[in-house]
Structures are given as structure tokens and as C-alpha cells.
Amino acid sequence: MRGCIFDLDGTLTNTLESLTYSVNLTMKEMGLPSITMDQCRRFVGEGARKLIERTLRACGDENLSRLEEGLKVYGRIFHDNCTYHVTPYDGITEMLGDLRAMGIRLAVLSNKPHGQAVDVVRQIFGEGVFDFVQGQSEELPRKPDPAGVLYLLDKMGVKKEDCVYVGDSEVDVATARAAGVTELAVTWGFRSRQVLEEAGATVLIDHPGELVDFLRSRG
């Protein structure tokens, strides 16, 4: 294995508090009720539009009549709060150091808007840890479309068979499958082990150190 592509939210960083906080500030500004952190956990994973769609429906706007308004307000609020109380999961920093020492090329592929994805990675991990960071943009369709993975493979100069994609959701499992790379699901993120297994995940890990062992076992 020569390359490793990571999802961001729920995989490398615990961003649930920042997402819930930003969503609820959005709903407050729009005069709508708030959602719980558990609801937000279930709503995330497929980009900002899906998050706001699901939130509006939960708050009573079944026809999504205020979707464009919500996206505009959320975009502004989340821009200012994308690192609010965000932390790396236990063991992530050490795991990334081990992978770099092994010569593994590292990238992030997120459905978070590109600018915010870059900001979070830079502020939480600093410069020089990841070779590339790619968030949602107009140029690349969001996951589970494989375009982002294929784009990063090309940028890293890594073949499909030499790369593992690591994520915490059913969207990530589908992304890896669509791209033809090895998929690995983590159980510490936003989805339960049961959800991941039902999505077809075949390799699951409970701690970041297990990823290092997995890659070493693959040579």
C-alpha cells in the first residue's frame, strides 16, 4: 500500500459539535426549532445541502420551501464556526505520524465544502501532514461518486490497488467500492458498527492504531 485517503468528519476529527452548533444557529436565525446532536449525527455525511434538507424537514419544512435560504445562512455561519470545538479522535495524530514514517502518501476527501475542509485540516493538523485535501466543489461531484478518489489517486501518483480509503459511514463504503480501492470502516465515528456492516463494510477497526497494523500487513 502506497496511499491512504481519509474521510474527515467522523473519521479524523470529531466535528459533530461544530456541525450541530452551526445548524442550530442557522435554524435560530430562520425562526425554526433546533435539532439534537443525535439527529445531526444521522443527517451528516452527504454534504451541506443534504444536511440542511434533512434538518428543514425535521423542523417542519417538509416541502423544503426555505432550502436556498437555509443554505445561504448555513454557509455564512459554518464558515465562521467550522472549527468550533473540533478535535482529532484519540490516536489519530500518532497514527498519521506512523503512516508518514512508513512513506504512505496521505490525502483527505470530504463532502464538507472545500474551503472549510482545508481550514479544518490546517488548523487541527497543521501544514505538511497531508499531501492533498479535497472538499466538495463544483468541479467534483460529492461522494459516493468516485470522482474525488480518482482525482486524488492521480494527484498522489498512486494506483487503485495500492490505496486504501478510510471512512466512518455507509457513504464512505460506497465511495471506496465505486472507486475500486480497498475500503476500511472505522467504528468511532458518526455511524454504528451495525450500520457499517449493513452497508457492506468488510474490514472494520476500533482504534486508529489498527490502520497502521493493517497497512503493514499489506506490505
The CA distances from residue 110 to 8, 134, 214, in Å, are: 6, 6, 22
For the stretch 129-183, pLDDT in tens is 999 999 999 899 999 999 999 999 999 999 999 999 999 999 999 999 999 999 9
- Co-location of 90 and 165 in the same domain: yes
Name the domain boundary from 37, 66, 81. Answer: 81
Tell me the three cell numbers of residue 164.
486504501
Q: Are 204 and 176 in contact (CB under 8 A)?
A: no
For the stretch 65-89, pLDDT in tens is 999 999 999 999 988 988 888 999 9
Q: pTM for this structure?
A: 0.89
User: Any idea which residue has 457499517 for its cell?
Assistant: 196
- Return the ∠ at Cα 12 (arms to 9 and 15), rounded to 5°: 40
Active site residue 7: yes
- Co-location of 65 and 99 in the same domain: no
- Co-location of 180 and 190 in the same domain: yes
Q: Is pLDDT above 90 for 93?
A: yes
What CATH number corresponds to the domain at position 24? 1.10.150.240
The confidence score (pLDDT) of residue 8 equals 96
For the stretch 4-59, pLDDT in tens is 999 999 999 998 999 999 999 999 999 999 999 999 999 998 888 999 999 999 99
- Co-location of 137 and 168 in the same domain: yes
- Co-location of 65 and 102 in the same domain: no
Name the domain boundary from 30, 55, 81. Answer: 81
Q: Of 144, 171, 208, 179, whose CA–CA distance to 44 is shortest?
A: 171
Give me the domain span that covers residue 124. Answer: 3-14+86-217
- Co-location of 7 and 28 in the same domain: no
SS3 of the chain: the string is CCEEEECCECCCEECHHHHHHHHHHHHHHCCCCCCCHHHHHHHCCCCHHHHHHHHHHHCCCCCCCCHHHHHHHHHHHHHHHCCCCCEECCCHHHHHHHHHHCCCEEEEEEEEEHHHHHHHHHHHHCCCCCCEEEEECCCCCCCCCCHHHHHHHHHHCCCHHHEEEEECCHHHHHHHHHHCCEEEEECCCCCCHHHHHHCCCCCEECCCHHHHHHHHHCC
- Co-location of 68 and 146 in the same domain: no
- Co-location of 54 and 131 in the same domain: no
- Co-location of 128 and 72 in the same domain: no
Q: Is 151 exposed, middle or buried (0-12, 13-18, 19+ CB in 10 A)?
A: middle
- Co-location of 154 and 71 in the same domain: no
- Co-location of 64 and 115 in the same domain: no
What CATH number corresponds to the domain at position 93? 3.40.50.1000
Relative to beta strand 13-14, strand 182-186 is: unpaired
Name the domain boundary from 36, 55, 81. Answer: 81
What domain count does the chain have?
2
- Co-location of 150 and 213 in the same domain: yes
Among residues 7, 9, 98, 119, the one annotated as catalytic is: 7
